[in-house]
Amino acid sequence: MASAANLLAIDVGNTQTQAGVFHGTTLIHEWRLSTERGATADELAAAHDQIMRLRGGSLDELDAMIVASVVPTLTAGYRELSDKYLERTALVVGPGTKTGMPLLIDNPRELGADRLVNAVAAFQRYGGPSIVVDFGTATNVDVVSAAGEYMGGVIAPGVITSLEALASRAARLVTVDLVPPERLIGRSTVEAMRSGLVLGTVAMVDGLVARARAEVGEEAAVVATGGLAELVFPLSDEIDHHEPLLTLEGLRLIHEMNTAPRAR
């Protein structure tokens, strides 16, 4: 029996890049990097290899690579990394990639790869209908039908994006630490901003999810993922599950779909 392969899964977001190594179906390493849009393939390889060596591995041990990216320059960089250092062609999630999920949207080419990957993973784990809330540069709400179809979703400003906009556009407002406020009514500018940013995001997400549930079915499972999900999840009345590794799991599933041997 052949030994399980080592798969490098990469999710390139606008702010952070999440990566993980699967040995078969088991995630053995996971890490995050700041997304550097100008990074070359050599720089990307060095960064990931260094982290893997700290964990007891290296790029040399990898058998395959899959990438979901919303940054075109880095999509090309990771393709080159795989060709040059793994001597294999990376699977890049995009048009033509098998996902097992019909897309009920006007223009499937507009759909961010990470949103589709999350939807696939959520349906695989929780069935349908299901709703994914991804807290990143944007706050995305993506909806899967009971039949496992991608129905569409919502894109709203992310928490950090909103904070940066406030701090840059309002002369008397400053950057604050994003921690849950002790009360809604802030007694200082910092407290008021925390309430608006954190509790405002919770209220927005709960409101959007409630409306999505009304459209797709009240029994829909709601899953939170992304870098700031840990902040919002404990405060939300609508989110059922927190899955920080949802995107990596979706990438593994999609890689499996696209590389499984065909039945004769």
Distance CA 130, CA 152 (A): 12
Work out the percent of the chain whose per-residue pLDDT is above 90. Answer: 80
Domains and CATH numbers, the chain: 6-92 (3.30.420.40), 128-244 (3.30.420.40)
pLDDT digits (tens, 9 = 90+) for 193-241: 899 999 999 999 999 999 999 999 889 999 999 989 999 999 999 999 9
Q: Cα dihedral angle (12, 14, 15, 17), rounded to 10 degrees?
A: 0
- Contact in structure between 23 and 6 (CB atoms under 8 Å): yes
CA 33 to chain centre: 13
Report strand pairing: 150-157 vs 138-144: antiparallel
Phi, psi of 262 (to 5 degrees): -75, 140
Residues 6+ apart with CB under 8 A from 187: none
Angle between helices 246-259 and 113-126 (to 10 degrees): 90
As to burial, measured by CB atoms within 10 angstroms (0-12 exposed, 13-18 middle, 19+ buried), residue 50 is: exposed
DSSP output for 12-72: E-SSEEEEEEEETTEEEEEEEEE--TT--HHHHHHHHHHHHHHTT--GGG--EEEEEES-H
Tokens 């050599």 locate to 42
Q: Is the pLDDT of residue 174 over 90?
A: no
The pLDDT value given to residue 2: 47
Most confident of the ranges 3-7, 102-106, 167-171, 173-177: 102-106
Give catalytic residues, as residue numbers: 114
Three-class SS state of 125: helix
Q: Which helix (H) or strand (E) holds 10?
A: strand 6-12
Within its chain, how far is the Cα of 102 from the centroid?
A: 20
What pLDDT score was predicted for residue 1?
38
Look up residue 112 and give its two tokens: 């961010």
Q: What are the residue ranges of helices labelled H in 55-199?
A: 72-81, 113-126, 159-169, 189-194
Contacts of 178 (CB under 8 A, 6+ apart): 159, 160, 163, 194, 197, 198, 228, 231
According to the model, what pLDDT value does residue 233 have? 96
Is it the case that residue 156 has pLDDT exceeding 90? yes
DSSP three-state, residue 141: strand
